[in-house]
């Protein structure tokens, strides 16, 4: 059983803690180091590694502090070059190749975002847990089987965005960027339809927009579609 703790999930910062009772992982480090310490019960020495999807500040804010604390950080070569930090604890990984951190077998996969070489991660253990982590992407071209946990971005609704643009509260230029860099409610629903959800125990919707989302609507729509427990991060 994987325990998921949301440290923060927004355009201001993103970080999550995973624990399968054998290994603790940090997903993203886009909040203050003190905030990560507090969320980890000030036992950061127990964190076996940190997975980084891409180089935007709301995902790597505490990268230097995490490295200084002795935690290996795993990312693509493109992301490592973009963060421009030289450290022996930065470990580069390749899409569709597995690597191990403690009790977890992890496979990175390529996603679509407006950065150098963004990744998503499939995180597995011998107990049969299979967690999908994907954020800051507008499309996932792969299909996954036997997933038990899903942590996926659901940043905005196209209908809400269009309504906000019509009202003048959101500039038109935002639509182009969002549709080419973030997962909409509509696209997330298509992703769920295309994948095997038979063993899914819980779904976490991540990185909701402050102005172009609706927590209650998103939760209701995804629960209705999947029949699974849905949590808003």
- How would you label 183-197 residue by residue, b for 16+ Cβ within 10 Å and e otherwise? bbbebbbebbeebee
Residue 99 has a pLDDT of 98
In this structure, what are the phi and psi dihedrals at residue 193, rounded to the nearest 5 degrees? -65, -30
- Determine the Cα–Cα distance for residues 80 and 10; give it in Å rounded to an integer: 22
Domain segments of the chain: what residues? 3-232
Other C-beta atoms lying within 10 Å of the C-beta of residue 41: 10
Q: Do 189 and 225 contact (CB within 8 A), yes or no? A: yes
**pLDDT band at 182; cut points 50, 70, 90:** confident
Residue 180 has pLDDT above 90, yes or no: no
Percent pLDDT > 90 in the chain is 84
Confidence of residue 115 (pLDDT cuts 50, 70, 90): confident
- Average pLDDT across the chain, whole number: 95
Distance CA 84, CA 228 (A): 41
Q: What is residue 135's predicted lDDT score, i.e. its pLDDT?
A: 93
Please list, in sequence order, all residues whose beta carbon lies within 8 angstroms of the beta carbon of residue 34, skipping any fewer than 6 positions away.
Answer: none
> Whole-angstrom Cα distance, residue 217 to residue 214?
5
Q: Is the pLDDT of residue 179 over 80?
A: no
C-beta of residue 75 within 8 angstroms of C-beta of residue 52:
yes
Q: Identify the three-state secondary structure at position 30.
A: coil
The predicted structure's pLDDT at residue 155: 92
* 113 pLDDT tier (thresholds 50, 70, 90): confident
Cβ partners under 8 Å of residue 177, min gap 6: 114
DSSP secondary structure of 96-129: T-EEEETTEEEEEEE---SSSS-EEEEEE-TTS-
Distances (CA, A) of 178 to 33, 116, 183, 212: 28, 17, 8, 10
Residue 193 confidence class, pLDDT cut points 50, 70, 90? very high
Neighbours of 32 (CB within 10 A): 16
Q: Alpha-carbon distance 168 to 165, whole Å?
A: 5
Among the listed residues 113, 114, 140, the one whose alpha carbon sits nearest the alpha carbon of residue 195: 140
User: Which CATH topology does 3-232 take?
Assistant: Metallo-beta-lactamase; Chain A (3.60.15)
């Amino acid at each position: 059983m994987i325990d998921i703790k949301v440290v923060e999930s927004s355009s201001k910062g993103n970080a999550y803690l995973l624990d399968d009772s054998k290994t603790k992982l940090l997903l993203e480090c886009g909040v203050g180091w003190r905030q990560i310490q507090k969320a980890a019960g000030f036992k950061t020495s127990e964190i076996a590694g940190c997975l980084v999807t891409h180089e935007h500040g709301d995902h790597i804010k505490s990268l230097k502090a995490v490295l200084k604390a002795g935690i290996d950080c795993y990312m693509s070569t493109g992301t490592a070059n973009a963060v421009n930090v030289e450290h022996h604890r930065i470990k580069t990984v390749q899409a569709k190749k597995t690597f191990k951190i403690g009790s977890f077998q992890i496979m990175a996969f390529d996603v679509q975002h407006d950065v150098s070489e963004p990744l998503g991660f499939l995180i597995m253990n011998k107990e049969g847990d299979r967690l999908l982590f994907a954020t800051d992407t507008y499309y996932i071209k792969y299909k996954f089987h036997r997933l038990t946990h899903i942590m996926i971005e659901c940043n905005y609704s196209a209908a809400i965005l269009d309504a906000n643009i019509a009202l003048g509260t959101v500039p038109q230029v935002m639509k182009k960027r969002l549709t080419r860099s973030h997962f909409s409610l509509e696209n997330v629903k298509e992703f769920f339809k295309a994948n095997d959800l038979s063993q899914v125990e819980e779904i976490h919707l991540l990185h909701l927009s402050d102005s172009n989302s609706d927590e209650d609507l998103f939760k209701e729509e995804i629960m209705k579609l999947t029949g699974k427990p849905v949590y808003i991060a």
